[in-house]
Amino acid sequence: MVSNFDKKQKRVFSKRNFYFITGGILFLIVSALLIFADIKIYKEKKRLNAQISGYKKQIQEIENRNKTLKEGIAGANNDNYIEKAAREELDLQKQGEKVVTFIMPSPQQQNQEKNQQNFFDIKAWAIWLSQSWSWIKDKF
């Protein structure tokens, strides 16, 4: 009699088991979809926050430039300001004065020299590899 009961247990695949397995699979699918949607939203939020911070930086730069221009307008009638502007921006001088100017290398020339020096630098290669790895991680 006990062996007969075991056989019935193995053969019977009830509706309850079917619904339980189907519900579990649906739950896993919905959970996976929600997780992927959450990751996508997080990346979008991160991108938008970076864009906002960039705009804030631009606003700050424009406000600083505006402030400088207002100071220039206010000092346009001031003799000291006119003299300072003439000396610094136009390289004018009074009679008997000598002007000394320094010529700085261009940023492109500095970058070329730095690239030539850094070609065999191990730190530069390590930085390049870490940036490449970060780029690959961000893509996946």
For the chain, what are the domain ranges? 102-140
Is-contact 92 86, C-beta < 8 A?
Answer: yes
pTM equals 0.42
The per-residue pLDDT for range 92-124, each reduced to its tens digit, is 777 887 777 777 777 776 666 666 665 566 777
User: What's the pLDDT at 79?
Assistant: 82
Single-letter code of the amino acid located at 107: P
For residues 30, 32, 34, 36, the Cα torsion angle rounded to the nearest 10 degrees is -150
User: What's the pLDDT at 114?
Assistant: 64
